[in-house]
């Protein structure tokens, strides 16, 4: 079943076309990668899917848990998150001054049914919801070995752990589709390997579909079921990792073509 | 265990403070009573402002306007009906409200609710703005509220103001309100909603991506802030015994801005400390306003107004050395206090907390 598709979305900033005619189709439980040189429009594509930008043209369509296809173009990012799309950011956006624990608890807020008044009075139905959230958060933090560090402020964690914390925070929203924006950026080969295993693990454990932007080709080729390649806002290729590796346009986009002087 | 102990300690502290309020109410002079009352009213308004500015990170400067609404609710509804013709001598009170009389506590709540309603209406356009723009827009709305009040002659008595408000001198009464506001805000900040507010302060884009509806939560914080500012404004009016549009010039807001910056943006106990320091501090600095002679030589600087110079210098020093206020975003907690008592020098060795 298709979980997300875009019917030729386009994003224009003034005179610059950042992304044009992007057609993406992601099946449930797939890991799909979006690659391309810097400035190709990958993060812009993510921002259109998660509602930070509204596409200049075209629509983003998402199939919700009941199997209904809904148009999410123009919806608020918070509503899109509630539908089950979570994301991480290229340049880590944790709540820096808050504790590790609070960072993840905040992601549980979107499913809270109790209103602020019953929350402030700590009424039983609010407490019951909180206890359930606390149990889930404890489990999540333990899965990435951050439980011991839960009282630390997010900014004081080492870089690699901040990346993990951001993924765990996204997981706490109970997503069906997880968008990872360069999860391995700045990681050494060993950390990248661990991350690969971690992504595979969470996909199985939470029945996730994963759509990721990544520059580490080893990681991408290893983990992806399919790959889309962007260059200057255009989709220049799509297919299995093997097909992408052999694609001449992809090679020329990454390595440049020889020109006669 | 520790949770239960902390709760017991908090109850004991509140009971102790209430006892102190009782003592101050009956055993001390009216000057001290007045300072204590003012401290507590300023604490309520400081707390309310901290909710939007400190916790939700929305730099709003509309507190004076919301105070005015609360103050006028008290002015309009608590003046005895028999005295109203003499108060509204220029133009009689509008017949729809001329006979409505309320006890103070009800007028305070009505004032708070009116302020929250106005915040709801203002919030729709204003809360879409960020940073400086939000500050300027809320400042403007606060002045609009004041000007509307000045011109609604038959309701607010216009520029003449309302006098003969039954005066409130009971320290215990104000203490009860302050404690209630303090407890409610503390409880709210420690819930999921409080965390959502802080998330918005830290990073709006990330908060939104985590499913927090920015407008809904900003609006909620803004309305709650207005509600408590309305109650604070009402108590302020009852304390003064009169209300006048000129009391609520936008410069009044800066007092509370000072309190929360001094105490620490995003700290409840910081706001309490800030309000006491600013209000009481300004009073105790009055000795610098009196002429002083040492060994028969008159010290030349001691004259009326000198305390403001000293106050400003102290403020500058504080802001230079404690850029984030006395408490920062930290709170006074029993756990830390007990740890401090066991090992007073431990605070110097603590890592991660005092950085930045």
Contacts 24+ apart (CB under 8 A), A182-190: A182/A90, A182/A213, A182/A214, A182/A215, A183/A88, A183/A212, A183/A214, A184/A214, A184/A215, A184/A216, A184/A219, A185/A90, A185/A215, A186/A159, A187/A160, A187/A163, A187/A216
The band of B172, judged by pLDDT with boundaries at 50, 70 and 90, is: very high
Pick from A114-128, A215-229, A244-258: least confident: A244-258
The residue extents of the domains of chain B are 2-291+298-335
pLDDT higher than 50, residue B354? no
pLDDT higher than 90, residue B198? yes
What are the Cα distances from residue A203, in Å, to A87, A215, B170? 14, 20, 63
Quick one: pLDDT at residue A2?
92
Quick one: pLDDT at residue B284?
85
**CA-based nearest residue to B226, from B256, B199, B266:** B256
Residue A153 forms beta bridges with which residues? A99
The percent helix, strand, coil of chain A (3-state, each to 5) is 40, 25, 35
**CA-based nearest residue to B274, from B265, B286, B283:** B265
* Average pLDDT value over all residues in chain B: 89
Share of chain A above pLDDT 70, in %: 97
Quick one: pLDDT at residue B351?
46
**B195 contacts in chain A (CB < 8 Å):** 98, 102, 105-106, 109
pLDDT in tens, B276-301: 999 988 888 888 877 777 777 777 77
pLDDT in tens, B48-103: 999 999 999 999 999 999 999 999 999 999 999 999 988 888 888 888 888 899 99
B342 or A150: whose pLDDT is higher?
Answer: A150
The band of A258, judged by pLDDT with boundaries at 50, 70 and 90, is: low
The band of B353, judged by pLDDT with boundaries at 50, 70 and 90, is: very low
pLDDT in tens, A185-206: 888 899 899 999 999 999 999 9
Quick one: pLDDT at residue A259?
60
pLDDT higher than 80, residue B355? no
According to DSSP, the β-strands at A177-181 and A85-87 are parallel
Spatial separation of the C-alpha atoms in residues B45 and B178, rounded to whole Å: 10
* Average pLDDT value over all residues in chain A: 92
**What's the gap in Å between the CA of A257 and the closest CA on chain B?**
39
pLDDT in tens, B309-335: 888 888 888 888 888 888 888 888 888
**A81 contacts in chain B (CB < 8 Å):** 208-211
Tell me the Ramachandran region of residue B213: left when phi exceeds 0, alpha when psi lies from -120 to 50, beta otherwise. beta
pLDDT in tens, A68-97: 999 999 899 999 999 999 999 999 999 999
The band of B348, judged by pLDDT with boundaries at 50, 70 and 90, is: low
Q: What residues of A are in the B interface, CB distance below 8 Å?
A: 50, 52, 76-79, 81-82, 86-87, 89, 93-98, 102, 105-112, 114, 116, 119-122, 126, 130, 133, 152-153, 156, 169-170, 173
pLDDT, average across residues B184-209: 95
Please state the length of chain A.
Answer: 261
The matching CATH number, chosen from 3.40.50.300, 2.40.30.10, 3.30.479.30, 3.50.50.60, for A2-255 is 3.40.50.300
What are the Cα distances from residue A10, in Å, to A41, A61, B34? 10, 14, 65
CB burial string A106-116: b at 16+ within 10 A, e below = bbbbbebebeb
Residue of A nearest to B354 (CA): A153
Quick one: pLDDT at residue B352?
44
Share of chain B above pLDDT 90, in %: 58
pLDDT, average across residues A103-125: 93
pLDDT higher than 60, residue A254? yes
The residue extents of the domains of chain A are 2-255
The band of A102, judged by pLDDT with boundaries at 50, 70 and 90, is: very high
pLDDT in tens, B100-121: 999 999 999 999 999 999 999 9
The band of B347, judged by pLDDT with boundaries at 50, 70 and 90, is: low
The answer to whether residues A8 and A23 touch, using CB atoms and an 8 Å cutoff, is yes
| Facing B211 at nearest CB: one of A97, A105, A109 | A109
pTM to 2 decimal places: 0.90
Quick one: pLDDT at residue B133?
95
The half-sphere exposure of B295 on its side-chain side, counting CA atoms within 13 A, is: 0
Quick one: pLDDT at residue B306?
83
pLDDT, average across residues A7-25: 92
**B187 contacts in chain A (CB < 8 Å):** 120-122
B31 Cβ contact list (under 8 Å, min separation 6): none
Mutate to test the interface with A, among B199, B208, B211 (most CBs of A within 10 A): B211
3-state secondary structure at position A146: coil
pLDDT higher than 90, residue A9? yes
The answer to whether residues B255 and B41 touch, using CB atoms and an 8 Å cutoff, is no
| Facing B352 at nearest CB: one of A89, A109, A153 | A153
A116/B191 Cβ within 8 A: yes
Specify whether domain B2-291+298-335 bears CATH 1.10.3470.
yes
pLDDT, average across residues B15-27: 89
**What's the gap in Å between the CA of A258 and the closest CA on chain B?**
42
């Amino acid at each position: 079943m298709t979980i997300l598709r875009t019917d030729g979305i386009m994003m224009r900033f003034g005179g610059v076309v950042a992304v044009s005619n992007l057609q993406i189709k992601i099946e449930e439980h797939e890991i799909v990668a979006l690659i391309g040189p810097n400035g190709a429009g990958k993060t812009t594509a993510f921002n259109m899917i998660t509602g930070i930008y509204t596409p200049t043209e075209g629509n983003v369509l998402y199939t919700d848990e009941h199997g209904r296809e809904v148009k999410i173009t123009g919806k608020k990012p918070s509503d899109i998150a509630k539908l089950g799309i979570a994301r991480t950011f290229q340049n880590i956006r944790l709540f820096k001054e808050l504790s590790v624990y609070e960072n993840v608890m905040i992601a549980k807020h979107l499913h809270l049914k109790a209103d602020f008044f019953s929350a402030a009075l700590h009424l039983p139905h609010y407490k019951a919801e909180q206890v359930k959230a606390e149990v889930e958060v404890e489990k999540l933090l333990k899965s990435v070995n951050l439980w011991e560090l839960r009282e630390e402020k997010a900014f004081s964690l080492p870089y690699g752990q901040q990346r993990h914390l951001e993924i765990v925070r996204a997981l706490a929203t109970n997503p069906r589709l997880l968008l990872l924006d360069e999860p391995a950026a700045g990681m050494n080969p060993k950390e990248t390997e661990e991350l690969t295993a971690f992504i595979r693990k969470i996909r199985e454990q939470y029945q996730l579909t994963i759509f990721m932007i990544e520059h580490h080709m080893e990681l991408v080729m290893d983990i992806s079921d399919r790959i889309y390649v962007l260059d200057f806002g255009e989709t220049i290729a799509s297919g299995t990792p093997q097909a992408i590796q052999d694609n001449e346009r992809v090679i020329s986009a990454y390595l440049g073509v020889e020109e006669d002087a | 265990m520790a949770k239960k102990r902390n709760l017991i300690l908090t109850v004991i502290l509140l009971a102790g403070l209430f006892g102190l309020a009782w003592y101050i109410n009956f055993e001390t002079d009216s000057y001290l009573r007045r300072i204590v009352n003012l401290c507590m009213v300023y604490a309520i308004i400081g707390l309310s402002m901290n909710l939007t500015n400190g916790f939700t990170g929305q730099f709003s400067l509309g507190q004076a306007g919301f105070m005015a609404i609360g103050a006028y609710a008290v002015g309009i509804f608590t003046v005895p009906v028999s005295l109203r013709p003499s108060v509204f001598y220029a133009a009689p009170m509008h017949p729809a409200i001329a006979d409505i009389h309320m006890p103070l506590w009800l007028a305070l709540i009505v004032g708070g609710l009116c302020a929250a309603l106005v915040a709801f209406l203002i919030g729709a356009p204003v809360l879409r703005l960020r940073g400086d723009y939000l500050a300027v827009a809320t400042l403007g709305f606060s002045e609009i509220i004041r000007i509307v009040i000045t011109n609604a002659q038959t309701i607010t008595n216009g520029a003449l103001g309302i006098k003969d408000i039954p005066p409130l001198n009971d320290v215990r009464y104000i203490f009860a309100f302050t404690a209630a506001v303090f407890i409610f805000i503390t409880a709210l900040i420690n819930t999921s909603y409080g965390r959502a507010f802080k998330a918005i302060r830290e990073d709006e884009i990330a908060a939104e991506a985590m499913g927090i509806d920015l407008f809904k939560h900003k609006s909620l914080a803004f309305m709650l802030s207005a509600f408590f500012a309305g109650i604070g404004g009402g108590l302020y009016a009852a304390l003064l015994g009169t209300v006048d549009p000129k009391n609520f010039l936008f410069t009044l807001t800066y007092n509370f801005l000072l309190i929360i910056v001094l105490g620490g943006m995003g700290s409840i106990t910081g706001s309490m400390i800030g309000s006491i320091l600013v209000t009481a501090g300004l009073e105790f600095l009055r000795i610098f306003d009196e002429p002083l002679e040492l060994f028969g030589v008159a010290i030349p600087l001691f004259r009326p107004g000198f305390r403001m110079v000293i106050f400003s210098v102290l403020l500058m020093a504080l802001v230079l050395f404690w850029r984030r206020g006395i408490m920062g975003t930290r709170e006074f907690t029993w756990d830390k206090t007990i740890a401090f008592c066991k090992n007073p020098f431990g605070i110097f060795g603590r890592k991660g907390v005092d950085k930045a």
